[in-house]
Amino acid sequence: MKFSYKTDGTCSKRIDIEVEAGVLVSADFIGGCSGNSQGVAALVKEMPVTEVVRRLKGIACQGDTSCPDQLARALEASAQME
């Protein structure tokens, strides 16, 4: 499943995500800090979605969210869509 998630409260504006069989295939952050978002995406690639959410949910940057937290929120939201 491929989907886009409009972020809120972060420098990135959107995350393009692909999930297959409960595993994160890819996460491409649009906008924001390129090096950090590429690093996060590389670290969680091919990781079970539940583990990505467990590790990233609640991480704060400038306020009460961050790009990693937004990825976790997007994955949780997509699980509810299925």
Say how far apart CA 55 and CA 14 lie, in whole Å. 20
Domain segments of the chain: what residues? 2-81
- Tell whether the model's pLDDT for residue 81 goes beyond 70: no
Average pLDDT over residues 34-50: 96
Cross-strand pairs, 3:
17
Average pLDDT over residues 48-74: 96
Average pLDDT over residues 15-25: 97
Say how far apart CA 32 and CA 22 lie, in whole Å. 26
Give the SS3 label for residue 82. Answer: coil
